[in-house]
Every structure is written in structure tokens, then in C-alpha cells.
Amino acid sequence: MADYNTMELMIVAASRELEDGATVGVGTGAPCAAAMLAQKTKAPNLVIMFEAGGISPLLPTMPISVGDSRTFYKAVMASGMCEIMETCQRGMVDYTFLGGAQIDMYGNLNSTVIGDWANPKVRFPGSGGANDFASFCWRIMVITPQDARRFVERVSFITTPGYLTGGNAREEAGLPANTGPYKVITNMAVMGYDPDSKRMRVESIHHGFTFEQVQENCGFELLKAPEVVETPPPTEEELSILRSEVDPHRYIIGR
Amino acid sequence: MFDVIAQGDGPLFMDPDPDKAREFFRTKKRAMANKLMTVREAVEKFVHDGEYLAIGGFGANRIPTAICHEIVRQRKKNLIFAGHTSTHDFQILAAGEVFDRCDIAYIIGLEARGLSPNARRYMESGKVTVCEWTNYAMALRLKAAAMGVSFVPGRNIMGTDTFKHSAVKVVQCPFTGKKMALYPALWPDVAAIHVHEADVFGNCRIRGISIADLELARAAKHLIITCERLVHNEEIRSDPTQTVIPYFLVDAVCEVPFGSYPGNMPYEYYSDEEHLKKWLQVETDPEEFRKFLDEQIYGTKDFNEYLELNGGIERINQLRAQEHLIELD
């Protein structure tokens, strides 16, 4: 079997969730690497969108910013933020790929504060475009390392909506119908959500890990999908494209 | 009247009354006058303590760096800042502690590069009153202002803590019964936008993504333009399709070549990652950072001096090659 690190594993697993012809709103870092890898493997017609206005670029190298010139290199359109977010709000964007400091069992994300909002222990950037993408895109995917400090019972601040308090809370709050968290991709597993309670559940476990290990690195009780399978490991081809074409300078996979 | 179902408890820093805005715009000069001036003059004339400031571009992409520096150099204070898509611009303004109120959509971070230690200290100091928003929320507030209406609806933000600490109001749509988040119009007192080309009157061309600058240019009461290149009005008139900001929105035009440095300028030069890394590193030590600011901003007379200090044209040439994906050895 091929040798790979944690970040490579997450990016490969994430890239497989995107099908050819789909539309996806992404941020920088691992989400962008996953989208680039998908574009260079199974989804050549993947439409990548960046919140600052880039539509369907042929990414030559990893962008450093979601607004830098790489995000509209050989793109079909260099637009603006309203164009992108309104395309999402109209229902034409299938996925969004996000990161986040903290995630809870309903897929809510915190990137605003640790501690009390009024007197923050640690202040983070805030929503950026994450709340917007996660409100509007049909399916939200999150890439983050499996770590009990990140997977918490309750996020200290819901910056970006998941299923809120579960059940139908999301739609009742006023967010567009039939949208919401879809997958969480970590270095140990791929998780989805229970269709009724909207709680996070383990769907596939990466080679070499057990459900117990995933649970130990999660701050809340995880559910299990009716059938939990083993994630197929990254192939030589996926790793080779990731290393030579997607991130040759190892900005992301070297972390 | 709509019944307000839920509302955020965040402060609304600016009046969303469209008639007050109209009264202002009624008196805004329409004359096609030469508005060329220096960055120092533009900031002296149009940025006033206590007013609301917004910066165009996307943090470290097509930003009016010279204006941000000059606001710090002139020690402006008590501004209200639109922390919208802000990264290096926020870092500069936070270094000068020029604002004490902030609408937050994205602050402190420099995206994949990490968080600014100094901006974080400033935001955790209790010196700044804040209101939470999202990037699209702020773009919508500018869009409402550009439209000349008091709000526009959106379907994001609802149900979150971002909403709870915003100044958004949720109402039931009178047509469908669905909940809608209403975003109050935002007319900034002054905005600065860096563009590729402008004429002396302020007609502007931008290449690449526009981010929220088309809305911002129309929402701002006063608008300072910095440009890579001045072009003749004949050039503007030869292809009006390219004009994205018409002159009557503009109050000042400053020619600042390489003016987005150390940020990226599409089709011109890439961001100077080494310089941005230096900022992040030196910020970890407040004492060192003071010295760095003295050297880079307070001690330089203008943007050209700052650029020279950091490698000048030679550095720009390297960044130009990077932008065009040309490998130099």
C-alpha cells in the first residue's frame, strides 16, 4: 500500500466526494486542494467557485487567498461576491467545502471566538464567506483533523450554520429548505448525518483505524451508519497528482 | 409594517435612512473636474476622525495600501471600520489603532497565512466595539445603499450566533410567509479602492474579479481612487464597456504604481509572501513591531519610500514574473 500522511489522506478522501460536473464553493487550504485534485482526477468538469468572484478557473497552482489572481486563472468569468453568493442562493451550487476551528454533533462551525463573545479569550476571524456558503449551498462538507478539541459537544459560538439544534431546526430558522451538512472528512473517518436527528454518524473508517479510535478523538457521542465500511486508501495515482500537480510546494500537504 | 420575528443585538453604527443619503448625494459634485491629488492630500481631505471607513479589494488583493498607510501615518482615530474581506488592510489599520468600532465579517486573519498577532491583541483588548456580519451580508448592505433603499433581504445568517450579535432583523415575507433576514443599508463616509486604470476625473477600469467594489463605489459618500496607471479620458471613451466606476462617484484620484503591494494585483504582480510573513513574525513581539512600524510606515514619507525599502522595482519584477507564472532562477 502507498505511503501517505494525514493531510494527504484527508484531501484524497475529500476529493472523491465531488462528482464530475458538480458546482462547489471552496475556501483556501485543504478544501481547495481537494477540489483541485478532483478536477485533475475524476471530475475534470468540476466548477470551482471562490467567494471573491472567480468562476470555474483552471487552477495553475494553489491560491493563497480566495481572492488572488489564481482563483480566476483561465476562468470562465471573473465576477464578484454578490454574483457568487447569489448563484448559491438561487440553488445552483451543489457543495461547499469548509474548514473551521470547532465543529459540533450537528455540524455547526465556530470560527469567531473561544470563550465569551463579549470578552473573548481568543478572537478568530469570524464568518468570512463561510456562513453564506453554508446557508445557501445544498451540501456542506468539512475537512478537519479528528481531534476532541475540535469535535466538541457544543461549539462556543455558531458562526456558520449546520443543523443548528438538529431535527428541522435549520429550516425552521429560515434557512433554505433541504440544505445542510453532508460529510465531515477527517484523517480517521468520513462522517455523515442521521437523516432524522441530524446528528453526526460514522459512515466509513480509513484503513488502519477503528470506530473506537474515532470516538476517542471526538468530544461527543458519535452515531454509526447502518453499515460502516472501510474507506479505500489513496491510490498511487491520486497521491502522485496531489504531490506533483496540486501542491508541489507542499504548502498544504506539508503541514 | 413587517413584524420583526427576531433581531440581533449588535450595534448599528450607521443610519440606514435612504432620504438622508439622497440629501447627501443631491449635493455631491457632478462636475467633470480634475481630481488628481497626492495620497496625503486625499487622506487629509476625505478621511476624518470618527467617520466610517471601508477599503476595497480583498484583504491582500487589489488593495489601496498607500491609503491604509497614510491613514495610520496621519494618526486618524475613532474611525468605524468595515471589517469586510479584510486581511492585510485590517492588519495595517489595527497596527495604527485608527478605529474603535468595527463591523466584522472577516478580520484578524490573513487566510492561509495565519492570524495577525497584533490585530488579535487589539481586538481582544476591549478597545473596539463590534457587530458581527458575514462577507455576503456586508456586500448586501452596500448593495442596498447602492440601490438607494434602506435594506435588502437575504436567506443566510439566520439561526446562528453570528446573527444574534449582528444588527439583522428577521421578518416573514409578505408574499411567501418565509423568513427573510433584512440587511440595513450601509453608506460609508469614505471608501478607498485601488484600480488598474483611471482618468483624472475618476472614470475607472478594473481587470479581474470585482469583489464588492462595484457596490462599495456606489454606496460610499466619498470615494478615493488609487490607480496603477493614469489614462487619458480619450482612452476611457474609446471603450466605455470597460468603465466600472463612473467619474461622478469619485472625489480623489491618486496615481500609485504598484499600489496594491504587498498585495496581489491581478495581471500585474503577485503578493509578496515574504514581506507578509515578516509582518506576521515581527508582530509576535510588540516592541519589535513598534520599531518595524516606525521604519515602514511612520518613518517613510510616502508609499514610494516604503516600496523602495522593501526591494523597489527589483522586487516588483520578481512578483510580476510570479503573477505571470514565469519561473526565474
pLDDT in tens, B237-270: 999 999 999 999 999 999 999 999 999 999 999 9
Judge: A81–B136 Cβ closer than 8 Å, yes or no. yes
Tell me, yes or no, whether A41 and A107 share the same domain: no
Are A65 and B111 a contacting pair at CB < 8 A? yes
Nearest chain B residue (CA) to A165: B159
ipTM above 0.90? yes
Is B323 within 8 Å of B268 (Cβ atoms)? yes
Q: DSSP class of residue A18?
A: P
Whether residue B209 lies within 8 A of chain A, CB to CB, comes out as yes
Q: Are B43 and B79 in contact (CB under 8 A)?
A: no
Nearest residue in chain B measured CA to CA from A108: B160
Number of CB pairs, chain A paired with chain B, less than 8 A apart: 196
Determine the residue of chain B that is closest to A112 in CA distance. B162
Give the closest of B124, B160, B179 to A131, CB-based.
B160
pLDDT reading at A28 higher than 90: no
Would residue A51 show up in a list of annotated catalytic residues for this protein? Answer: yes
B interface test, pick of A122, A123, A252 with most B CB neighbours within 10 Å? A123
Per-residue model confidence (pLDDT) at position A255: 77
Write the pLDDT tens digit of every residue in B223-237.
999 999 999 999 999
Q: Is residue A186 a contact partner of residue A146, using CB atoms and an 8 Å limit?
A: yes
Distance from C-alpha of B88 to C-alpha of B97, rounded to nearest angstrom: 14
Domain count, chain A: 2
Residues A109 and A89 in one domain: no
Least Cα separation, residue A54 to chain B (angstroms): 7
Q: Which of A8, A17, A19, A51 is catalytic?
A: A51
What pLDDT, on a 0 to 100 scale, did the predictor assign at position A247?
A: 93
**What's the CA gap between B133 and B100, in Å, rounded?**
17
In the block, which residue shows the cell 494553489? A62
Question: Are A119 and A183 within one domain?
Answer: yes
Among the residue ranges A121-125, A163-167, A173-177, the one predicted with the least confidence is A121-125
Residue A209 shares a structural domain with residue A198: yes
Q: Which of residues 123-162 of A touch B (CB under 8 A)?
A: 123-132, 135-136, 157-161
Pairing of strands B179-184, B151-154: antiparallel
> pLDDT tens digits, residue range B164-177?
999 999 999 999 99
Show residues of chain B in contact with A251, CB under 8 Å.
Answer: 112
pLDDT digits (tens, 9 = 90+) for A118-130: 888 899 999 999 9
Quick one: pLDDT at residue A1?
Answer: 63
- Cβ–Cβ of B105/A128 closer than 8 Å? yes
pLDDT for position A29:
87
**Which of A120, A132, A251 has the CB atom closest to B136's CB atom?**
A132
Provide the pLDDT for residue B1: 63
Per-residue burial over A100-125, b if 16 or more Cβ lie within 10 Å, else e, is: bbbbbbbbbbbbbbeeeeeebeebbb
Quick check: A158 and B161 CB within 8 A?
A: yes
Domain annotation for chain B: domains and CATH numbers: 4-323 (3.40.1080.10)
Q: Quick one: average pLDDT of B70-85?
A: 98
Query: Are A130 and A238 found together in one domain?
Result: no
Same domain, A86 and A116: no
Q: What percent of chain A has pLDDT over 90?
A: 90
A31 is in which domain, residue-wise? 1-93+233-255
A230 min Cα distance to partner chain B (Å): 31
pLDDT at A174 over 90: yes
Which residue's C-alpha cell is 495565519? B114
Beta strands in chain B, from DSSP E residues, in sequence order: 4-7, 52-55, 79-83, 99-104, 129-132, 151-154, 169-172, 179-184, 190-198, 204-205, 222-230, 243-245, 252-255
Helices B117-124 and B286-293: angle between axes, nearest 10 degrees: 110
A103 and A226 co-located in one domain: yes
Nearest CA in chain A to B126: A119
Q: How far is CA B269 from CA A70, B13, B146, B325, in A?
A: 12, 36, 31, 10
CB environment B96-118: b (16+ within 10 A), e (fewer) = bbbbebbbbbbbbbbbbbebbbb
Are A226 and A102 within one domain?
Answer: yes
| Three cell numbers, residue B235 | 482612452
CATH label of the domain that carries residue A37: 3.40.1080.10
pLDDT tier for residue A27 given thresholds of 50, 70 and 90:
confident
Same domain, yes or no: A181 and A222 = yes
Which pLDDT does position B43 carry in this prediction? 98
Q: What percent of chain B is modeled with pLDDT above 90?
A: 98
Are residues A36 and A85 part of one domain? yes
pLDDT-derived band of residue A251, with 50, 70 and 90 as boundaries? confident
Clarify whether residues A70 and A81 are in a common domain.
yes
Which residues are CB-contacts of B70 (< 8 A; sequence separation ≥ 6)? Answer: B39, B40, B42, B43, B302, B303
Are A180 and A239 in a shared domain?
Answer: no
Longest dimension (CA), chain A: 50
Grid cell in block for residue A32: 481547495
User: Residue A158 CB: number of other CB atoms within 10 A?
Assistant: 24
